Structure 1
Amino acid sequence: MPKAKGKNRRHKYSYNLNRKRLYRSARRRAAPRIACSHIRQAWDPTKSVAQNLAEMGLAGDPNKAVPIPKKKRLVRKQLVRKPYVLNEMEYEASLPEKKSNTLSRDLIDYVRYMIQNHGENYKVSTGCPRHPVA
């Protein structure tokens, strides 16, 4: 199979290109990483942000989602094609939050060991040099 014409030349470094600006503009053009896994899985890259959010039942603009009624006007409902995204996010938000104000498992085991061996005698358990055990 013959090679394409002009593909076997030596690549030359272009000194008049700003590599930092090239990298920055490429990052700016690239799609951002969506942190929420439910939204990321249901995202359609061929559609706009507003279309994707409307299909999931989410709002892109809170002012348009819950407008302040100035006068009576007809508000049309948008068709939610991917309601499972909203349901999964609501379920995840309703789960109880993990308590993070507890001590580590190692520290709890250490304190339990010290209490079993020394009781309430904290001077022995800390090994305090100023207050030797009588």
Structure 2
Amino acid sequence: MGKVKKTRKNTYNYNVDRKKLRRRAKKKSAPRIQCDEIRNAWNRSKSLAGNMAEMGLVADPNKSLPIRERTVIGEPSKVRKPYVLEGLKAAASLPSKQTMGISSDMIMYVRHMVENYGEDYKAMARDEQNYYQDTPKQIMRKVNLYKHHHTKEYQTLLASRTKQ
């Protein structure tokens, strides 16, 4: 007698989230390039090093700035897309949009402190409006942050303080 051939039935695996699997596979296959200039000039049929060399960029910084005398990989003669470099330089020269702002409450707090005490941080720490019981060093950090963002206003506050 012959052996009975065992066949395994294909069953659906309920423990696997197919949607997540598809998303992961999609992310691995096509990485997201966040820089607009590079994304627009990217050629999917070329390798990373080939794309970067065309743009005048270098994939491996250790090879572009060697310790010993070597030839540079991203030679300017091979740059076919110089507009990418120009776009990156223009984007780098723009002021940053993600600067940390100061809340209006903190501005009022610092103005009150500087108007009344100047730069005496120990006296500021004992003030009634120091609700959060900031230490002199914490108050100094807040004043320095205000100084950094509102330089002219801080100078006028100090000037009005010295006149009194």
| TM-score under structure 2 length normalisation | 0.45
Which 5+ residue runs of structure 2 have no aligned equivalent?
A: 1-9, 110-115, 117-127, 129-164
Secondary structure at the aligned position of 1:23 is classed as helix
Letter in 2 for 1:15: Y
How many residues align? The count is: 106
Letter in 1 for 2:88: M
Does residue 36 (structure 1) correspond to residue 28 (structure 2)? The answer is no
Q: Deviations over 1:78-133 (max 9, x none)?
A: 5000111111111111122347344357997x99xxxxxxxx9xx9xxxxxxxxxx
Q: Which residue of 2 aligns with 1:9?
A: none
Runs of 4+, deviation exceeding 6 Å:
73-76, 105-108
Q: Which residue of 1 aligns with 2:49?
A: 50
Does residue 23 (structure 1) correspond to residue 21 (structure 2)? The answer is yes
**Distance in 2 separating the partners of 1:86 and 1:32:** 21
Q: Which has the higher helix share?
A: 2
| TM-score under structure 1 length normalisation | 0.53
Asked if 1 retains the 8 angstrom alpha-carbon contact of 2:58 and 2:64, the reply is yes
Asked if 1 retains the 8 angstrom alpha-carbon contact of 2:53 and 2:73, the reply is no
CA shift at 1:30, angstroms? 1.1
Secondary structure at the aligned position of 1:35 is classed as coil
* Distance verdict in 2 for CA 1:101–1:36, change over 3 Å: closer
* Distance verdict in 2 for CA 1:100–1:30, change over 3 Å: same
Asked if 1 retains the 8 angstrom alpha-carbon contact of 2:63 and 2:72, the reply is no
Which 5+ residue runs of structure 1 have no aligned equivalent?
A: 1-12, 112-119, 124-134
Root mean square deviation, CA, Å? 4.2
